[in-house]
A and B are shown apart, each in its own frame.
Chain A
Amino acid sequence: MAGIEKYLRQSALPHIWCPGCGNGILLAAILRAVDKLGLDQKKTVVVSGIGCSSRASGYMNFNTVHTAHGRALTFATGIKLAKPELNVIVLTGDGDATAIGGNHFIHAARRNVDITTVIFNNSIYGMTGGQYSPLTPMDAKATTAPFGHIERSFDIAALAIAAGATYVARGTAFHAQLLTDLVVKGIENKGFSVIDAITQCPISYGRKNKMGSAADMLAWQRDHAVMAQAVAKMSPEDLQGKFVIGELYRTVAPEYTAEYDKLIARVEKKGGK
């Protein structure tokens, strides 16, 4: 925790997360990224939605907004557009970002607003007690899928790329150091950045799906993650059942708030007043 205490609201701790939850690891990884970049604390705003993940904003000593379910990106868009000099970081869950907030997610990506979104992806609705989310794998069990889930799940990274995000990466709670690096690059990217952060929910997901302890779930992340750089050398069979971590996509595209500033300049030049 060294170096990141100043970014924590000590008075808000202890946190409400279950023992073994990966959310704390993700939070620490994000704060290390903020520290590494030396972001001006005053100029950094953290916005979250609703759910276990989205409680993270309350523990962070910045201007923080805990919005309504699924709406973090809408608030973040307003904040960033109204005051583009702010660094805006969004923390959200898989259900928050891709179910109730799915439409906002694709449009924030399309606009390429300079926001870094970290999706705490535990494949389940944790806070409400383990209902299936768009990221729950097929056949997995959830309180609302007692016979096994029959929907296909999203690939958040592919969704983000298709919608127009300019930086897309995936990390895990197990690979916390890598996650920090990915968040650093996400914040550095001038545009919409998405980091799919796979994390364990031993209580609402793990138990139901016989994943074992939190340590077992972390080991699962270790054993199923493949570094992006290694993928090229692997056969389709080797990749079966695995997921790719690291930087997955990067491109350059016009950023929304910068385009708006250009528009203002254009209007002024024409003597628009």
Chain B
Amino acid sequence: MAKPQLMQGNQACAVGALAAGVKFFAGYPITPSTEVAEILAEMLPKFGGKFIQMEDEIASMGAVCGAALTGVKAITATSGPGFSLKQELIGYAAMAEIPCVIVNVQRLGPSTGKPTSPAQGDVMQARWGSHGDRGVIALSPTSVRETFDITVKAFNFAEKFRTPVILLLDEVIGHMRETVELPESGEVEVIDRKRPSGPPEDYQAYKPDADGVAPMADFGEGYYYHVTGLVHDYKGMPSQNNALTTELIDRLHTKIERARDEITIYHEDYTDDADVLVVAYGGTTRAAIAAVKEARAQGVKAGLLTLVTIWPFPGEIVAKAAQKAKKVIVPELNYGQLVGEIERYVPREKVVSLTRYDGELFRPEEILNPIITAGGGK
């Protein structure tokens, strides 16, 4: 362990990216994500990496895709409006199976909204923002230290599954400062993409191995292949074949779905005997845990399930944790986005949605009061 240091969430994200081996950043300035870019602008050249501030959000996503094709780990950072602009190319990265990480430090929307206010309004945009169907990995850390760990995970998942991975921070986590002890570089598990080893003539860039993922060659090494956003065959060549289309779209889902257990990250606090279960994510978990502890002090058996993996949605985990509970309380800094997903796994009458969308955080008592009510208190 390195010595403790005071660090901001966005900084932990940048440092986590470096620990994961990032060598390329392209981005466009947008509050509240700018520190990620600023720190990487300074750090990347020191680690033999490249930083570029592109002309817009779309260009940034394109540059990230291009860089990733040469074999490097690449990242961009943005916020809601920029995330919207990037969506077409995030879909492209999914279709062309280009590993990369997109950090979205969420702010209140729609539109320009409130640039410096916390929100969790991009949960559904992360899932469905780009057109069409595919599996999505989106992770939302709850602390500065966890932001470091989850950024490393984001890269590992991106590389392992050849897919864009979305890191959903919220402004609270991005800008909050905490004292953290980070692991030494050797202590961090870093996964690199599978690369082909056979003769280049035989290489098929999109022919999956048993795990649903094909090895990926670095551009410039003689493994020629075609990359396209069109439906394509194993060699990457455009195809109109219906069976092949179904197989490809299926695989964009199943390569992620089948690894659900590995991808699902969550925390449980006092859930064993909970009568009232709170399900929260991101910065909201901080008020939630305070509320749960206070409820316990007042004699209500409350528990907290924290979802770090938002997509693929860990429905089974939620169902299991909610089984014994009388009520499930879901606080979110939005109009109620993830709660709909929870209602697919928990009987609707059990679910209480708490929403806040004025740009302020939940105060613990705003979660405590419904817990007490649900727990049969006054």
Q: Which residues from chain A sit less than 8 Å from chain B, CB to CB?
A: 9, 11-12, 41-43, 45, 47, 57-58, 61-68, 71, 73-83, 85-86, 103-104, 107, 260, 263-264, 267-268, 272-273
Nearest A residue to B226, CB-CB:
A64
Nearest Cβ in chain B — how far from A244, in angstroms?
Answer: 29
Given contacts A81-B50, A82-B50, A103-B56, contact A75 B229 (CB under 8 A): no
Q: Does B46 contact A (CB under 8 A)?
A: yes
Nearest B residue to A83, CB-CB:
B70
Residues of A with C-beta under 8 A to B227: 63-66
Q: Does B182 contact A (CB under 8 A)?
A: no
Q: How far is the CA of A73 from the CA of B66 in the complex (A)?
A: 10
Q: Does B335 contact A (CB under 8 A)?
A: no
Q: Is the CB of B220 within 8 A of A63?
A: yes
Q: Which residues from chain B sit less than 8 Å from chain A, CB to CB?
A: 23-24, 26, 45-48, 50, 52, 54-56, 58-72, 74, 88-89, 92, 219-230, 235, 237-238
In the complex, the number of residue pairs spanning A and B with C-beta atoms less than 8 Å apart equals 142
Residues of B with C-beta under 8 A to A82: 23-24, 50, 66-67, 70-72, 74
Looking at A12, A58, A273, the one whose CB has the most chain B CB atoms below 10 A away is: A58
Q: Is the CB of A83 within 8 A of B63?
A: no
Q: Is the CB of A78 within 8 A of B64?
A: yes
Nearest Cβ in chain A — how far from B21, in angstroms?
Answer: 13
Q: How far is the CA of A186 from the CA of B68 in the complex (A)?
A: 26
Q: Is the CB of B74 within 8 A of A78?
A: yes
Residues of B with C-beta under 8 A to A272: 45-46
Given contacts A67-B92, A81-B67, A264-B45, contact A74 B54 (CB under 8 A): yes
Q: Is the CB of A63 within 8 A of B225?
A: yes
Residues of A with C-beta under 8 A to B71: 82-83
Residues of B with C-beta under 8 A to A79: 66-67, 69-70, 219
Q: Is the CB of B224 within 8 A of A61?
A: yes
Q: Is the CB of B45 within 8 A of A63?
A: no
Q: Is the CB of A74 within 8 A of B66?
A: yes
Q: How far is the CA of A75 from the CA of B100 in the complex (A)?
A: 13
Q: How far is the CA of A267 from the CA of B45 in the complex (A)?
A: 7
Nearest B residue to A260, CB-CB:
B50
Nearest Cβ in chain B — how far from A172, in angstroms?
Answer: 28
Nearest Cβ in chain A — how far from B276, in angstroms?
Answer: 47
Q: How far is the CA of A66 from the CA of B68 in the complex (A)?
A: 15
Q: Is the CB of A74 within 8 A of B220?
A: no
Nearest Cβ in chain A — how far from B317, in angstroms?
Answer: 36
Nearest Cβ in chain B — how far from A73, in angstroms?
Answer: 8
